[in-house]
Structure 1
């Protein structure tokens, strides 16, 4: 094992996307996003590797180097995608970890596929890791990997970070094979969460389910000390700032304002089309404000970008139908020729297009029913170098603990959503500027690079690292 890599990232997806070059040939380009931005430089400078799936079923792509990073693809069959990814990961674990916003589905064959794929990830990682390497495993699709990897390679230093919420003990206990999932996480030396309460839930579960004795932020398991701690993730602030200063992006922002109506104030939502994001409740609240005359089509417009997500899963197909039906109803009742109150975009947008929207926006609506963090809120704040604009933010996001100068709302309460929207629209400019200035200071002080360095320093030495 001595000729392997000293730092290995393990995630469901590789940090690259397959694209078609100018010559028509297939090539790999680095994926956008904060996680890749934070970890790719570390992997590159440390001679590291990244273990993950290419994103295509039955893809037999072999190991290769892209942008200075060694990629070790883990192949998934169409059945794996159906059972491990869309099944156990996204129809069982995802809804349960998000407080049962939708009812989880439990199927034995999904659990078996999840275990088999997790083992494949662990074996691939064991093959590429050097003696004593540091391995960082990511997210809910790979909960079993730390323990599997530990059994294969006890010499490794293993960290795990959960990007989504970790549920209360009572909810986790509903999972079939619950102890197996918990033991999977306990295979790590450091388990990181978005919020302190999630780490507490994990430690309480270790006591309740396995009879362990947690103390402070750690628990002894099989002769090792496992540390559980919060590391709130952030964004690549420098990249957002660069885009916000780009003249082309600023010009696009001005064009958007003109197209929507310079005299209208813009409300914006940007989300994956997921039932946890509160899109239905947000659109309903805006419709009621129009019905009550609190806002009018001549004064305010809502733009909702809904990125397609998991559309083979029935719950997501049904959500799309409900949202589009409600948008159609509102536009039919309150719109005019050439001027509608809701612009609904069921499509992905480039980083440049999103930042242009952020710059054009008067009120950003980030109102998930439950979210581990929500990086859109932080992106909006980082983009507003002009210190203008207001943020309406769900209390049930991890971001609410850091961005408490936002207009905080309970997204389960349509009346409270309406209150937050109106308060943000009516707030005096100087109040909005003060709130934005404070939030920007927080985001700039805690970017994704600091998040990654803090996690890895804690993995190296939990007692020396900053808490």
Structure 2
């Protein structure tokens, strides 16, 4: 699907600011196409109905573009150089903030030149948003790459209403306080009128950091923020758990060609009795190694038989130039090779490991082919894969094994909950999922599907924007 892009520079009443634009440029024909992803699905209809604008990087270094229209949205490109990407994105965003905010599963690196690039690039995004926002517009800033934008934007455009949504965890103060620029980041976020988080615990961690670091009064999600003119304004910090467009997955899962593809997948695996499935970005936060360790031990203990059970693990490529990710890929592939070498038979493979990304239709076919979905993240803001699996199970069957350290665990209470650090507990959960009676599987899945259907991504965006509108009246 592609759309005609035309030049434009209209002032917008609603402006979304995120690291990336909601489009990708095809290298073959240089046509713009919509990006896959939950945020795009949530916000595209809102922007189309309001004639809104989206500010973000177009996906290629040193690409200078004027604003243009695409599918009823105004797109405002922010140019980033190769050096910006190295220092701001790969450096500060993904080698400082990402590991720090995910409970230091991997050690964060603190470099002053990375921070300086982060400030510089955030200023660029803030100026781009300020230039396109109409008078008294609403500006919604997204995620950890742009934590300084709310304050910068408030200084540039005191008339606009500012929301910020944090898609990843926000850590406890003992961890957060390690950040050399902890004060500046809190002040940056407090430029927003509403600061949204995935979990109640994340909003609480943020409020505690504000109290400890800045001494501002916080009460029941309200934060009293002193302003330059001596007055006080109120910012709201609360949880808005993000979701998916469940209807898209439901519709795909009912298509005969997708159901046929699910049957083909099982046949290609040698028609095992049970298919276990994991799909993750190749990231140290996802607990892929813990999952493989538990599965390998179940085979070694004789509790699982490779003739009956297969694990399919999709690990989509991620941040392949960052050293920690290169090392992780080597470790995962060594583990997969060792387990397969020990337990494969001529007709059956212990682990089918796929280091690719797949289109949505293929993902839904894989969800339908999987009897048990394994989500064993060590720390995750939400984990939308868990919700995608549930939304795809139109047969009302299947079992979700879900880490308690995901945002999704707060909502999907009928999943089999696990602590992925507890390998024995994880092994017991996997065998319990495999052996679960049909009636219990269906009862749990019915409740999970109701939750995902009723709390979809459209409801998420509406709740946030409604609160943003009310808090600034």
TM-score bracket, normalised by the shorter chain, equals over 0.9
Match of 1:40, SS state, is helix
Contact 2:269–2:349 (Cα < 8 Å) also in 1: no
Aligned with 1:277: secondary structure? coil
* Counterpart selection for 2:185 from 170, 181, 188: 181
Task: Point out where structure 1 has 5 or more consecutive residues left out of the alignment.
Answer: none
Distance in 1 between the 2:35 and 2:388 partners? 17
Q: Residue 57 in 1 paired to residue 66 in 2?
A: no
1:11 matches 2:18: yes
Partner of 2:218, secondary structure, is coil
SS in 1 for 2:26: strand
Decide which of 126, 149, 152 is 1:145's aligned counterpart: 149
The whole-number CA distance in structure 2 between the counterparts of 1:108 and 1:354 is: 41
Query: Post-superposition shift, 1:62?
Result: 2.3
Q: CA deviation at 1:145?
A: 0.3
Deviations 1:29-67 (A, max 9, x none): 111121101101111110100000112111123211111
Question: What secondary structure is seen at the aligned counterpart in 2 of 1:234?
Answer: coil
Which of 344, 358, 364 is the equivalent residue of 1:349?
358
Q: What TM-score, normalized to structure 1?
A: 0.97
The residue that corresponds to 1:193 in the other structure is: 197
Q: Runs ≥4 in structure 1, deviation > 4 angstroms? A: none
Which consecutive unaligned segments of at least 5 residues does structure 2 have? 1-8
Q: Is 1:40 the equivalent of 2:44? A: yes
Say which of 73, 83, 87 aligns to 1:83.
87
Deviations 1:269-311 (A, max 9, x none): 0000000000011011100000000001101000000000001
Q: Deviations over 1:325-349 (max 9, x none)?
A: 0000000000022421000000001
Match of residue 299, structure 2, among 284, 290, 296:
290
Deviation at 1:3, TM superposition (A): 5.7
| Aligned partners of 2:270 and 2:347 also within 8 Å | no
Equivalent residue, structure 2, for 1:381: 390
Match of 2:3 in 1: none
Note the aligned Cα RMSD (angstroms): 1.2
**In structure 2, distance between residues paired with 1:215 and 1:233:** 24
Partner residue in 2 for 1:243: 252
Counterpart for residue 71 of structure 2: 67
Does residue 463 of structure 2 align to residue 458 of structure 1? no
* Mapped pair 1:216 → 2:223: no
User: In structure 2, what is the Cα distance between the partners aligned to 1:358 and 1:270?
Assistant: 10
CA distance in 2, matches of 1:361, 1:3: 47
State which drifts further: 156-165 or 216-225.
216-225
Mapping 1:213-362, distance limit 5 Å: 213-221=217-225, 222=227, 223-362=232-371
Aligned residues: 460
Q: What CA distance in whole angstroms lies between the structure 1 residues aligned with 2:257 and 2:19?
A: 34
Deviation at 1:261, TM superposition (A): 2.2
Q: Deviations along 1:223-275, whole A, 9 cap, x unmatched?
A: 21100110000001111111111111111001001111224310000000000
- Using the alignment, how far apart are the partners of 1:435 and 1:92 within structure 2? 39
Q: Are residues 155 and 450 of structure 1, via their aligned partners in 2, closer, same or farther at CA, if it must alter by over 3 Å?
A: same
